[in-house]
Amino acid sequence: MRIVHAANLQFDKDGAHLWNQDQKIHHGLVRLGHFVYPFSINDRARMLSPVKSKTFGKGRANKALVETCRNVHPDLLILGHAQYITADTLREIRRILPRIRIGLWYVDPLWDEAEIRHLRERTGVLDALFCSTGGPLLESLATAECPAAFIPSAVDAGIECHRAFETPDDEILHDLLFFGRDKGEPGRREFLRELKALLPDLRVGYYGCLDQPGIFGWEKEQVIRRSKMALNLSRRSDVPLYSSSRIAELMGNGILTLTPRGAGLETLYAADELVYFDQPADLADKVRHFATHAAERIAVARKGWERNHRDYNGTEIARFIVDGTRGDDAWKSAPWAGASTFR
């Protein structure tokens, strides 16, 4: 098929955010054999603004998307986040191409109503919605005309290309690492401060938090590759199936990953693929254990790496999105279909 993929490919980051979900889903669509025309929404808005502002250029970006669809004549329009693309723009595209099917994927949290208002405003012109959150928050977005489904975070073998479980001991930099901001997140900052106090003797790397600078691109990959374990600490752990896409970046690069219980990720990852913990003290105990039991650490990291690259790769995520947008029941064969029924 012909597909226009309108997402945020972040060309303005000069490759620093190469692991973003937009790229992985785009690669997956291409690997399925489709012609996929990239429309990078924010970048296009900046290009079309006299002052290079995506805010001032969003009106022109909407017109450019309409013209792109007119020229490409796609069978599917797949939107990624697409907060700047209005419902009126989608209606105009449907007027020009009455047989087009339109799907939208979204991998940010769903608990902030102000942040997801644009999703509610668009369900009337979508054929399907795909989110990285499950449960009641997802179900509240579904309508009779626009079913909603859960999707896991995608990995890409060309992006998550490392196998940290194979790194020799003499190259190890950290026993544990965490990437993530704690600015405006007092709960996360307190958790990390408590963890730091519990592990004074271990080599723990904190990036973007506890007053330490962030790290990006190739340099970030090397830190993952040279560490034993990583912490997957999302903003909330009590929302069904929600996790930051950090989980794919970490497990996809073969590092033993530890995550808090509460989100029901056990339906996606078994206990021998991902390490679950309850409180900071429990986390510290498990970090100490795996820091000195290399064979166990490597076995779990390897199984988690295998699970992600086999079941949650960008091609499988893209296939699910295409099938769901087309209304094809083939979506039921997805590895996570049991945790992701259309409603």
pLDDT tens digits, 181-228: 988 889 999 999 999 999 999 999 999 999 999 998 899 999 999 999
CA distance 258 to 250: 10
pLDDT above 90 covers a percentage of the chain that reads 88
pLDDT given for residue 340 in this prediction: 55
In this prediction, residues 106-123 reach a mean pLDDT of 94
To 10 degrees, the CA torsion angle through 236, 231, 194, 291? Answer: 150
Q: What is the mean pLDDT of the chain?
A: 94
User: Each residue of 11-30: pLDDT tens digit?
Assistant: 887 887 777 899 999 999 99
**Amino acid 17: pLDDT:** 75
Helix (H) or strand (E) holding 36: strand 35-40
Instruction: Please state, in angstroms and rounded to a whole number, the distance separating the CA atoms of residues 315 and 334.
Output: 11
Give the chain's end-to-end CA distance (angstroms, integer). 26
**Where do the DSSP E strands lie in 134-181?**
148-150, 174-179
Inter-residue contact 336 to 152 (CB < 8 Å): yes
Q: What single-letter amino acid sits at 29?
A: L
Identify the pLDDT of residue 18.
78
Q: Predicted confidence band at 10 (pLDDT cuts at 50, 70, 90)?
A: confident
Q: What is the pTM of this model?
A: 0.94
State the pLDDT at residue 15.
81
For residue 237 the two structure tokens come to 């752990």
The number of C-alpha atoms within 13 Å of 254 and in the hemisphere containing its C-beta is: 17
CA dist 81 and 78 (Å) reads 10
How far apart CA 210 and CA 29 sit, in angstroms, is 38
pLDDT at 251 exceeding the cut of 90: yes
Which burial class, exposed, middle or buried, applies to 117 when counting CB atoms under 10 A from its CB (0-12, 13-18, 19+)?
Answer: exposed
Q: Which residues pair with 37 in a beta bridge?
A: 4
- Separation of CA 52 from chain center: 27
3-state secondary structure of 20: coil
- pLDDT recorded at residue 339: 63
pLDDT for residue 338 is more than 80: no
pLDDT tens string 271-314: 999 999 999 999 999 999 999 999 999 999 999 999 999 999 99
Return the structure tokens found at 286: 């498990």
- Domains of the chain, start order: 2-154+313-339 (3.40.50.2000), 164-311 (3.40.50.11660)
Cα–Cα distance for residue pair 21/7, rounded to 1 Å: 10
Give CA 287 to chain center in angstroms.
25
**So what's the pLDDT on residue 342?**
55
